[in-house]
């Protein structure tokens, strides 16, 4: 055992220093990974030393003690700052201890089997396991989570969720223990029959485990993904694999068409001649939770650009928001670097996707968001923003938007070929024959010219107020309320309203003053017909418009219209979206229509739709698109077009146009586009309409 007390002091000092490093200084899986790796290599070094023959276990115990002394400052800071989680404790048990003993068994094996330089071979072996095996998995598997016998676990993207101990990690650590036992007993394999029997049993058990790696969630090869997402659609450039329970045939036809349209849009924008026969695999998961279970990424859609096979991974609920963005990543592999088929600059990778998709906001353009938040980045700040540390050091919304605006400027002002060269090499001066400072100055000059208003300032303020995970005091600490909220969202996504309501009930009991929870809870209660509970609960709430409307709906569902009208807020108190809410409830008849659509998800027949006022007609169209029951949209559109256009409903108009184009109702779509263009629209609205025009032209092609 290590007896020098000075080494314990050094371990404590090292822990204190690391505690000041963002994320790594958190008492969680990152610091456990660091400790496990160091412990494994140190144990192999000591076990391979002849002087420690017979004292391996004492040496391992000493190393583990030092690792936990190292963790003490991290643990105390986590505990007193409220960041401590049970999963963090689990990672610090499951990662360092097995890793130390794995390193110990490896070093002992090379010493006991008579290798001439056991320390060297022990360290080389651990290097191969920790780096070499990771490299094989990284460049062959589509997953973004990894397990390793030396450093433990990397759970996948961690931007927006808790990181928990999975069953897969427990199973994997059993395999680690199996390897420890095999390496321990193998040197004595020929010396005793009982040792042979033990080793053979261990090998048989390990073989069974390795034959079920995919089923245990330890690896996820493409073949396994295709078995799980076994509904297939094949188009000119894509092979789509989708979750059969969550996608119907029409939905997949829609997304298949959208992919081909985005492909056409992006390849033209980037001037790419696509290789004939080269195909892209699209994995569409039923929801974010299924995606987390299969590939390790929950709310993060991604493209593993480093793999030879082009592919993208997106959950169903995220398709509308990120499909074009992710397709830019997969298509831009055509001019990426040779190592992992992308840019050396993470800022350019994400900036290109953001600059072409332009989907940071539905209301403001990228340039407006930047222009609304002076002072603008300097050349030095922009250089840093394009780097790995600078990009992830800021909030994702800020980094993506800033890089997107800059890249958009470069694509608009200079030949695309110059950007592609800068993207591949990260050498702006060589690609543009201009200093990087000049490019940034040119971009900055365009920002003050942008016309901005209060909406743009609101969007910008919201985006620039977000914090990076590296800026958070507790990067992995999630409250019990947030865990319950996550379960509620899961059951809402899969359509299990009773279980969703049960979790909202728990949330409402724990946080009765949380307005968002109360609003969701009341909505679900009204869907379930429990109107009395809503009336009683909302009687205790101040007369906020949102709750006044819910209270009025509760009375209206009970048929108590006088009480319902009395519950509504005064018209003088309302503005913006609350005026639209009042429009749903203009009179008893319109209110009844609203209740049927909102709480019973009942859609009217086209002849009934004529009796709906504009606000309720718009809600019906939204609900039809939400429920993917779009067969009556052409009939609804023919009736809706008879009303004057209200630009406040722009989002609904665009959604309607989008689905009419898909349904090949070209005349109706063209009429709507022409009518909306007559209005003085926001710049971002004009961008969105232009994309719909291109969508219309694409679907109208004879080749499609």
pLDDT, tens digit, for every residue of 266-292?
A: 999 999 999 999 999 999 999 999 999
Q: What are phi and psi of 314, to 5 degrees?
A: -140, 140
Reading across the β-sheet that carries 311-315, which strands appear in turn? Answer: 231-234, 238-242, 280-285, 311-315
359 backbone φψ class: left, alpha, beta (φ>0; ψ -120 to 50): alpha
115 burial via Cβ count (<10 Å: 0-12, 13-18, 19+): middle
Where is average pLDDT lowest: 93-97, 233-237, 312-316, 345-349? Answer: 345-349
Listed in sequence order, the DSSP H helices in 474-576 are 480-493, 497-510, 515-527, 531-538, 545-557, 561-567
Q: Is CATH 3.40.50.720 what the domain over 221-338 is classified as, yes or no?
A: no
Q: Please determine, for residue 527, whether its predicted confidence score (pLDDT) is greater than 90.
A: yes
d(CA 353, CA 76): 41
- Number of neighbours of residue 426 by Cβ within 10 angstroms: 17
| Sole residue written with tokens 């086209």 | 606
Q: Which helix (DSSP H) or strand (DSSP E) does residue 282 occupy?
A: strand 280-285
Q: Please determine, for residue 157, whether its predicted confidence score (pLDDT) is greater than 90.
A: no
- 13-16: long-range contacts, CB 8 A cutoff, minimum separation 24: 14/70, 15/69, 15/70, 15/71, 15/72, 15/73, 15/74, 16/73
- Name the percent of the chain lying above pLDDT 70: 93
User: What is the value of pTM for the model shown?
Assistant: 0.92
pLDDT at 386: 85
Cα separation of the two ends of the chain: 73
Structure tokens at 444: 């900055």
Nearest CA to 341 out of 311, 319, 315 is that of 311
Mean pLDDT, to the nearest integer, of 162-167? 86
pLDDT at 2: 47
pLDDT at 192: 76
Q: What are phi and psi of 233, to 5 degrees?
A: -135, 130
Q: Which residues pair with 110 in a beta bridge?
A: none
Q: Between vectors from CA 682 to CA 680 and to CA 683, what angle results, nearest 5°?
A: 115
Nearest CA to 185 out of 109, 88, 118, 294 is that of 109
Task: Spell out a b/e string for 657-688, using b for 16 or more CB atoms within 10 Å of the CB, else e.
Answer: bbbbbbbebeebbbbbbeebeeeeebbbbeeb
d(CA 498, CA 501): 5
| Sole residue written with tokens 């940071």 | 360
265 SS3 class: helix
Contact 392, 483 (CB under 8 A): no
241 SS3 class: strand
Q: Between vectors from CA 590 to CA 657 and to CA 596, what angle results, nearest 5°?
A: 75
Q: Which helix (DSSP H) or strand (DSSP E) does residue 280 occupy?
A: strand 280-285
What is the per-residue pLDDT across 595-636, written as a single tens digit (0 to 9) for each? 999 999 999 999 999 999 999 999 999 999 999 999 999 999
d(CA 70, CA 342): 38
- 226-232: long-range contacts, CB 8 A cutoff, minimum separation 24: 228/294, 229/283, 229/284, 229/285
Contact 241, 281 (CB under 8 A): yes
What is the per-residue pLDDT across 387-428, written as a single tens digit (0 to 9) for each? 876 666 555 557 888 899 999 999 999 999 999 999 999 999
For the chain, the average pLDDT equals: 91
Where is average pLDDT lowest: 107-116, 129-138, 341-350, 541-550? Answer: 541-550
pLDDT at 1: 45
Please indicate whether residue 349 or residue 477 has the higher confidence score (pLDDT): 349
201 SS3 class: helix
Q: Between vectors from CA 163 to CA 157 and to CA 169, what angle results, nearest 5°?
A: 95
| Sole residue written with tokens 């609304």 | 372
């Amino acid at each position: 055992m290590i007896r020098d007390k000075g080494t314990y002091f050094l371990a404590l000092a090292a822990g204190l220093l690391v505690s000041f490093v963002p994320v790594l200084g958190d008492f969680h899986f990152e610091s456990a990974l660091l400790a496990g790796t160091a412990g494994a290599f140190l144990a192999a070094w000591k076990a391979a030393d002849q002087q420690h023959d017979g004292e391996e276990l004492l040496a391992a115990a000493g190393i583990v003690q030092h690792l936990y002394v190292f963790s003490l400052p991290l643990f105390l800071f986590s505990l007193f700052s409220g960041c401590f989680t049970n999963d963090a404790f689990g990672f610090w048990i499951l990662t360092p201890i097995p890793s130390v003993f794995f390193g110990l068994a490896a070093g002992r094996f090379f010493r006991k089997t008579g290798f001439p330089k056991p320390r060297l071979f022990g360290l080389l072996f651990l290097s191969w396991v920790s780096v070499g095996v990771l490299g094989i998995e990284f460049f062959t598997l589509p997953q973004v989570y990894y397990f390793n016998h030396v450093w433990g676990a990397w759970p996948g993207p961690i931007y927006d969720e808790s990181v928990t101990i999975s069953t897969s990690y427990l199973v994997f650590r059993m395999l680690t223990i199996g390897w420890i036992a095999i390496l321990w007993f193998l040197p004595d394999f020929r010396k005793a029959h009982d040792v042979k029997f033990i080793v053979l049993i261990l090998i048989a058990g390990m073989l069974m485990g390795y034959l079920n790696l995919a089923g245990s969630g330890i690896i996820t090869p493409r073949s396994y993904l295709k078995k799980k997402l076994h509904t297939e659609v094949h188009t000119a450039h894509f092979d789509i694999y989708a979750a059969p329970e969550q996608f119907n045939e029409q939905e997949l036809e829609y997304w298949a068409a959208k992919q081909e349209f985005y492909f056409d849009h992006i390849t033209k924008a980037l001037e790419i001649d696509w290789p004939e026969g080269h195909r892209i695999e699209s994995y569409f998961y039923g929801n974010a939770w299924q995606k987390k279970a299969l590939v390790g990424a929950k709310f993060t859609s991604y493209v593993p650009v480093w793999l030879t096979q082009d592919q993208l991974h997106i959950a169903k609920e995220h398709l509308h928001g990120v499909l074009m963005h992710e397709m830019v990543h997969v298509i831009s592999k055509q001019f990426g670097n040779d190592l992992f088929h992308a840019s050396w600059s993470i800022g350019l990778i994400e900036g290109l996707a953001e600059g072409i998709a332009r989907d940071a906001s539905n209301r403001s353009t990228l340039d407006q968001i930047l222009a609304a938040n002076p002072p603008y980045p300097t050349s030095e700040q922009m250089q840093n923003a394009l780097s790995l540390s600078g990009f992830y050091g800021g909030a994702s919304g800020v980094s993506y938007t800033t890089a997107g605006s800059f890249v958009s400027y470069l694509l608009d002002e200079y030949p695309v070929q110059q950007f592609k060269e800068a993207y591949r090499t990260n050498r702006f001066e060589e690609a543009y024959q201009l200093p990087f400072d000049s490019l940034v100055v040119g971009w900055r000059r365009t920002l003050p010219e942008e016309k901005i208003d209060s909406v743009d300032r609101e969007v910008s303020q919201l985006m620039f107020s977000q914090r990076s995970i590296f800026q958070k005091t507790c990067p992995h600490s999630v409250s019990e309320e947030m865990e319950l909220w996550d379960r509620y969202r899961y059951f809402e996504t899969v359509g299990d309203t009773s279980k969703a309501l049960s979790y909202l009930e728990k949330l409402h009991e724990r946080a009765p003053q949380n307005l968002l929870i109360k609003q969701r809870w009341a909505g679900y209660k009204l869907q379930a017909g429990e109107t009395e509970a809503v009336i009683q609960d909302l009687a205790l709430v101040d007369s906020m418009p949102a709750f006044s409307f819910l209270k009025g709906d509760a009375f209206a569902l009970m048929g108590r219209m006088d009480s319902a009208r009395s519950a509504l807020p005064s018209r003088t108190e309302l503005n913006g979206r609350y005026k639209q809410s009042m429009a749903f409830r203009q009179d008893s008849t319109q209110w009844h229509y609203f209740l049927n659509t909102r709480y019973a998800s009942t859609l009217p027949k086209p002849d009934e739709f004529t009796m709906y006022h504009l606000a309720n007609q718009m809600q019906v169209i939204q609900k039809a698109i939400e429920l993917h029951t779009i067969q009556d949209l052409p009939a609804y559109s023919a009736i809706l077009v008879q009303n004057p256009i209200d630009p406040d409903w722009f989002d609904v108009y665009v959604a309607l146009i989008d689905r009419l184009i898909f349904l090949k109702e070209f005349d109706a779509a063209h009429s709507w586009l022409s009518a909306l263009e007559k209005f003085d629209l926001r710049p971002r609205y004009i961008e969105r309409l232009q994309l719909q025009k291109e969508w219309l032209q694409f679907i109208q092609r004879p080749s499609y």
